[in-house]
Each structure stands twice: as structure tokens, then as C-alpha cells.
Copies of this chain bind each other. A is one copy, B any other.
Amino acid sequence: MEWTREQRYLLYQQHSALELLKLQAQADNSPEQLRYHIRPASGLLNDPNGFSYFNHAWHVFYQSFPFGAAHGLKSWMHMQSTDLVHWHSRGLALTPDNEYDSHGAYSGSAKQIGDRLFLMYTGNHRDADWVRTPFQLGAWMDKNNHITKLEEPLFRNPNYISEHFRDPQLLEHDGKYYALLGAQDEKTEEGHLALWTSDDLKTGWHDLGYVDFTPHDMGYMIECPNLVNVDGHPVLIFCPQGLSKDVTNYENIYPNTYVTGDKFDFENAKLHGSSQIPVNLDDGFDVYATQAFNTPDGTAYAISWVGLPDIEYPTDSQNWANCLSQVKELHLKDGKLYQQPVAAMTNLRSNKGINVFSNETKIINEHAGQQCELNLTIAADQSGTLHLAANHDLSKSLQIKFDTNRGSLAVDRSTVGESVAEKYGTTRSVVLPTHEDLKLQVFLDHSLAEIFVNDGRHVLTLRYFADQSQQTISFDHAINSTGTLYQLKNI
């Protein structure tokens, strides 16, 4: 279905409740629907927003267009959790309802200030000629989740920054507030990160200029920046658009990347000791717009949009699209970012786990289904294929091809079911240490796979669209391995 501009920007009050109820039921009943991840109540979900801790609970919002699988008029939908795993909807939070966010309450962040949560976001405004102005906006959420928007914008784009100026991350440092934003230079049309500051959020915001974190050209725009402290080091996570593959090799339409540093100098907007060359945050097919934040105790958590701009997905025809990843805890080891499931993910396990050994048989489990967790250690110096969500003869499956002799792992989604974004390839691969055991932790959730490699050294996240009757997990031949398989509960 082609969406016209008029359809995409029809006001929520111009859509009917019956239409919305039917779209919600359609999403609720989809066989491919996620059962233990955040997914759209209806329509399309994109960026996670406002990931935060407030009032004894975790909060995350998501960009929502409730009326179909299209990037139409966006709102923030609110999810709340006490364990970072079981998320419950708190419904529509920020909705476009004034001049400044008339064409979308776009992405942003949240931070507890005093006894309220401050939401900072980009209002997308277009005039009658469809000329865009991005406004950086604020809103307060109280302990009853009641939200009051500030009446006036915090700031807008300076002359040297184009209409592409969005996704503020609100930070606090040494008693001052800072906002880190994605920006496009008006003149050069190059992507940058911009830093602004305010003493008290209320008085004038002050432009600290572009952030100095790499000498390389970052393409034509950077979206969704996050500065987060991981084990004592600043890590900058962002999404460069149009990044040259000479700088960073990537295969998705747009990458989600990170650089590490030694120290972030807020006053001078500089990442000291930057690793300079962006590294892919996720080695799978579908991660974008990851949002990370530091909890009050300093832990760094991240959650990702599993979906990409400008890509069609098979559930579009069911009028819903995309999901969020599970929450990942971030650590740095030897300058590399590790991403691991949070501890409470174990609470989803509905049984004590089935021990799996594949030394004499290739089959791990014929009834594993597509809502499970597989923890597997494959002994060193072997190669083979692990088939997930496979049919009986393994002719259909999501394939993980590994070679611990030569040190390689590749995920191939070409044979599992409906194709997705084939233009950008059907395999993704990572380099492994040679002659070492391979540890895999795989989560399947009906149309989402999250593959943690070697304790989170790599994560490969991807959507797949298979018949739900494909219940088998099996190697292609007997492999010396041990592990545990868990069925997982709905959240």
C-alpha cells in the first residue's frame, strides 16, 4: 500500500476508533507478533525514546504511528517496567497537538529532575509549503504519568544547521544540563553531532557547536546520538546516514555505530581519546536508533529499534511493523563494547531448561518452537551450521554457519521464510577467535532473533518471517556441544 502524504498526516482525531480497534486486534493476532518484546499496539513502531528510571520504575517510550505500517504522524507511546523485562503499556504519552510538534512528536530522551521526569524531544513542524522546522521541546511527567508540555520551544536550529536537527539526549554534568543532537550542516550538508547547554533547563540554551569525535566524514546526517558512560569510559552511540563504507564497513541501509573515548569534555564539546572510526554496534540486519542511558547507580543499559528506515517488512501487509530489542547491559572490555541480556531475562524461562548435547545426534530439539532461549557452547575446532526455526528436513531455517577453526560466524536468513530487504544481502558475519570454544545465546520471539556471541562480544539482531510450524533446532551434523534450551513466557 502506498501512503499519500495526506493519509500519513491525517490527524488522530480524523481517524475512527473502529479503525484503531481493528488495527489493534490485527496486531494482537498476528502469528509473527512478538510475545516478550515491546511491539506496537498497532501500526508502526520506530525509535525508542525517553529510556529512563523514575518513580521506582523503568520507562521507555516508542515512536508510534498507530494507523498502519507507514512513517506517518508520530507520537510517543509509553511502556513501564519494574525489571527491564516485563513491560506494560501506559499508552499515548506525547502526541502532536500544537504548532511546534504539529507534524510529529519526534525522538528524544528523558531524565529525572527533582521529583518529575523531563522529556526532551524534537517537534516536527511543517508549514503550508511543507517546509520543515525542527523545534527542541520539553515536557514534564509527574508520578501519575501525567504529562504537561512546556509552552515554548527550548531552542531551534541555528542558521548553520539545516532542517535536520533532532533527537536530543539530555545529559547532566557538573551541575549543568547538556543536549546532544543529530545535525546536518546547512552549507556542507554533512552530518554532525551538536552540543547545547543550559544552567537550569529554563533560561536560554547556549550552542557549544559540533562535537569533535572523529576526523572522518560521517555522511549527510547523524541521527539518535547517545553519550553513555560504560565502565568509566565515554561511549558515543549514533546512526550516521550516508557514511562511506571506506570509513566503516556495513551492510544495512544505515548503520548504528559507536566510538569509545577516554573523557568527554562538555565545555569544549570534544571526545578525548576517541576511537574515531565508528564500529557497528550490532552485527545483524535490523538494529537502528539504539538508545542508551546510565542508571542512578551508573549501569549502562541500551534498547534498540529493530527495524530500519526506508525498508519494507513482511508484516506491513498486516498493518503493523517493527519492535524494540530486549534491554542490553553494556560493558567495555579491551576497548570493545559488550552487550548482554539483563539478569531478569532469566525470569522469562518457563521451565528449568532442557539440557542439550549434540555429540551423537545433529538434532537439538524438534519442538523448540519460536519463543525460546538457547544457550550453547560449541567446542573449538569444528565447523557446521546451526538451524533455527527450522522445518523437519531443515530445508527451511535461519542458519548460523560457524567455523571455529578459521574463526567465522555468519547468519543467513535467506531460507527461513519470506525475504526481507534482500537488496542489502541475506547474510551477516562476524570474526571469531580461532581454535576457541564458541558460546552462543540465542533468543527467538516468533519473528525476531537476538544472537549473543561469546558473552556479548557480538550481537546479531534480526527479523525473520517464517511459518510458525518451523519448530526445530538442529545442527547439520553431530557437533561436540553442550547447552540448555528454555521455553520463554509472554510478558
Contacts and interface: CB of A to CB of B under 8 A. Distances in A.
A16 B13 CA distance: 5
Interface string A68-103: 000000000010000000101111110100000000
Contacts of A31: 144
Contact of A16 (B15, B35, B490): B15
Q: What is the size category of the interface that chain A forms with chain B?
A: 35 or more
A201 interface: no
* Copies, count: 2
A352 to B, nearest CB: 14
Contacts of A17: 12-13, 15-17, 19-20, 66-67
Interface in A16-32: 16-22, 24-29, 31
Residue among A17, A19, A93 with most chain B CB within 10 A:
A17
B490 A86 contact: yes
B18 A95 contact: yes
Contacts of A16: 12-17
A149 to B, nearest CB: 15
Contacts of A18: 11-13, 15, 95
B86 A489 contact: yes
Contacts of A86: 489-490
A145 interface: yes
B20 A21 contact: yes
Interface string A181-213: 000000000000000000000000000000000
A154 B29 CA distance: 28
A316 B129 CA distance: 45
Contact of A12 (B14, B21, B24, B67): B21
Nearest to A86: B490
Contacts of A91: 21, 24-29
A89 B88 CA distance: 12
Nearest to A30: B144
Contacts of A22: 92
B12 A90 contact: no
A323 to B, nearest CB: 16
A66 to B, nearest CB: 7
A25 B88 contact: no
A403 B11 CA distance: 61
B15 A88 contact: no
A222 to B, nearest CB: 32
Given A17-B19, A17-B20, A26-B91, 16 more contacts: A11-B18, A12-B17, A12-B18, A12-B21, A13-B16, A13-B18, A15-B17, A15-B18, A20-B20, A20-B21, A25-B90, A25-B91, A27-B91, A29-B90, A29-B146, A86-B490
